[in-house]
Amino acid sequence: MRANLLIGVLLASSLSANASVSCPGIFQRQVNEDTKNTYYVLTFLGDLATVPAEAALRRAKLGRIETIVTPKMQDYVNKLSKRASASGPSIVLITCDFPMGAADLNRADMDDLSRRNVLATLWGGNEGDKLSVVYVSLPLYQLRMGNRRDMEVAWLRAAVTTDELDDWMRELGRDSIAQQALLALGVSLVAIKQGDWQFAKYSLCQVRSNLKLMAQEAVRPAPEELEQEIQKLLKQAMIKADQGASAAGLDLNAVQSIKLACSV
Amino acid sequence: MASMFRAWVALVIAVCLQGCATTVLTASCDNPKVSNRSIPFIYLVMLPYVYRGDSAPSEMHRSAVAALNDVARLQVVRMGAEASDMHVTLLQDGGKGCEIEMVHKAFTQKRLLKAQLLSTVVFYWGEVFEAEDRMIVQSHVRVLWKNPNDDVVSFETLLPRSDTRLRFNGMVPYSTVSFPPRDLPIGDEVGGGRLRMLLEARSGTMRGAEAVPLPKSFLINQRVGNWVELRDRETQTSSWVAVTDPGSNAKSLLPELSFAQALAAYASYSTAPNDSVAANSIRWLDEFRAAYPSTGGEAQRQSMAVADLIEAVLRLARNAGEADQLRAAELMDKAVAALPANSAALNLAGISRIERCCSTRQDAAEVQRRLDLARQLDVGNEVIAKNLLNWYRLLERKDVAVQPYDREEMRRRAEELAGALR
């Protein structure tokens, strides 16, 4: 509930002191930079026990993850855009200093975050006795009915050490197929909204290729369920991308990398 | 020569070392430069370590970071003396901070204005921060290749019963490598004095010359034999450092610099293959690995895997015999185990096995697995798709007993792929 209240404050007044302490990067950047094509991945790390209690110290420690993980995510998105001969978005990882509760981040919150170019939110969870990453793709959330829990994709964390913060850094920095595919899915749905049909189609085909492997990594929802659900969504999104391209007079099948990507 | 590198004039100093083989200059982060006096194989651009602690830096922190930078810069000077045809730029904070993304942008943005980057650039940077009562340093390295295809590694193999040579291409993954954080051994000593004592600056060009403290801020003035003169920027006094000294203390303090040096040599090798460059690169990778525990786990996974891949490629490229081949295969296997979902690593490790493949079906199946997975993970990558297609062409001519699929299935796969590539 605390997170709910904080997000409420945070969304109601983007430059309030509370907001900038809890999740500051997104606000600083929105003030200082042209953010039209910049998208954010919010990581909620407020439940880490090994970071200091004092706010400024916590902020500094959590912020380190941003500088390490952002280039890795950006590298992946750059690869997609390079292959599609498109200019993909900038991706910025932002750490938010509060724990995620079951009742937090409801649909209204997620809608608001979507308007702020938030691509995904993720936090730590438990699946049975194992630690997991819980990931919600916001563009996907926007397209589906249901509560937050239904939108979550969880996979097990590979690295478990005594230092939770470093553990997170390594987990988000490794090439987990689930993370790669969900990122590609997020940017492809955003590209459809923006009418960037080439980038959208390419990324959707990349997701389709990764789907089975991603489902195998996921522990929630069940692999078959996740695969079916995303397959359905991919079909609809592909149709949209094809129709959009056709209306714009683009022949996506004439783009070699797209032809190659979509033949898998 | 492109105007971007011709026009700048703000260099503080540019000195030719070792018969102009390696040049070193210092410049401001606000206006990052490389030398225009020659076109080396490699530019190494070193940013200063910056303090990113939890609070404003104390005098002790400031001093420790300054000392660390001295150690790092000196080590880079030593590296420059060991390398051939490298240009080193040591960047300094001009007062507005020193961020890698800004420096990197300065190099890449200019390329958009059609100016050519004259050589591949290796960037090196890092941060110092605190963890409980310890000071920690973390370093990073990034490569900006001069041309998009300069990082391509090729292997060729003869198609059985023909004169056709099949070419397989790949590359070492990651343009940026972040190293594991490591303790900075300054203890409670104010000013990081112990760090400076690791260096053996002397008052003259002899081992027996009086040991003097390394200046806080210095210019690399000249090289006389095996000694490099550092000139204190405040007092203008000189001190000398032996460049032949392996600097074991400095190297153990920042083994990541050995990785950067190996990476620079690797990039240089791709431009001008040379056995001694390959041997040096492998030696520096060994130095890097030696500084880490063999069971370092997840924190070292990425950097160790990249080190393994670089060494494997160099060993295969110089092809000095069976031992090189075996060691390369071992390193590739290790790298794939460490990076199981990295398409570039899978592809490289897959194609590197092809020439010696396949005495068993299991061998062929492993190449197939690596290439299939690489293609799935980077689905529009034409290089990987062409490798897979060539692999099918090769398999068709191999003994049926080693083929991972029946002939029909292989033909179907090959036709599908060829269709997508047309």
Give the gap in angstroms from C-alpha B399 to the nearest C-alpha of chain A.
Answer: 28
Which residues from B are below 8 Å from A52, CB to CB? 54
ipTM above 0.95, yes or no: no
The answer to whether B226 contacts chain A (CB < 8 Å) is no
pLDDT at B359: 81
Chain A to chain B, count of Cβ pairs less than 8 Å apart?
A: 87
Q: Find the helix or strand (DSSP H, E) in which B308 lies.
A: helix B301-318
Q: Which of B183, B304, B379 to probe by mutation at the A interface, max A CB count within 10 Å?
A: B379
Inter-residue contact B171 to B182 (CB < 8 Å): no
A54 and B130 Cβ atoms separated by less than 8 Å:
no
For the whole model, what pTM was predicted?
0.83
- Put simply, the answer to whether A259 touches B420 (Cβ < 8 Å) is yes
Q: Is B182 on the interface with A (CB under 8 A)?
A: no
Predicted local distance difference test score (pLDDT) of residue A191: 95
List, for residues A77-86, the tens digit of each pLDDT value: 999 999 998 8
Residue A108, min C-alpha distance to chain B (Å): 34
| Torsion sign across C-alpha atoms B351, B355, B361, B362 | negative
* Closest approach of B277 to chain A, Cα-based (Å): 29
Which residue has better confidence, B330 or A67?
Answer: B330
- Please give the single-letter amino acid code of residue A23: C
Cα angle: B184, vertex B187, B188; to 5 degrees: 135
Going residue by residue through chain B, which has 422 residues, state the pLDDT in tens, using 9 for 90 and above.
222 222 222 222 333 333 334 566 778 888 776 666 566 778 889 999 998 876 777 777 777 788 788 778 877 877 766 666 777 888 888 888 888 888 888 887 755 444 567 788 999 999 888 776 678 888 999 999 988 788 899 999 988 888 899 999 999 998 888 888 888 765 444 344 444 444 567 888 877 888 887 665 556 666 677 777 777 767 888 888 776 554 455 566 788 999 999 999 999 888 888 898 899 999 999 989 988 776 556 668 889 999 999 999 999 999 778 899 999 999 999 999 999 999 999 999 999 999 888 888 888 999 999 999 999 999 999 999 999 999 999 998 888 888 888 888 888 999 999 998 98
Contact B300, B178 (CB under 8 A): no
Residue B337 sits at the chain A interface (C-beta within 8 Å): no
Partner B contacted by A259 (CB < 8 A)? yes
- What pLDDT, in 10s, does the model give residues A225-264? 999 999 999 999 999 999 999 999 998 888 889 999 998 7
Q: Flag if B129 and A64 touch (Cβ within 8 Å).
A: yes
Residue B83: the pLDDT is: 66
Minimal Cβ distance to B379: which of A60, A176, A209: A209
- Contact with chain A for residue B419, Cβ under 8 A: yes
Q: What per-residue confidence (pLDDT) applies to B233?
A: 65
- Residue A79 to residues A82, A127, A165, A203, A206, Cα–Cα distance (Å): 5, 32, 27, 10, 11
Nearest chain A residue to B338 by CA: give it: A174
Could you tell me the pLDDT band of residue A133, with boundaries at 50, 70 and 90?
very high
CB B380 to CB A202 under 8 A? yes
Residues of A in contact with B339 (CB under 8 A): 175
B420 in A contact zone (CB under 8 Å): yes
Q: How far apart are CA B20 and CA A127, in angstroms?
A: 61
pLDDT at A141 over 50: yes
Query: Which chain A positions have a beta carbon within 8 Å of B381's beta carbon?
Result: 83, 260
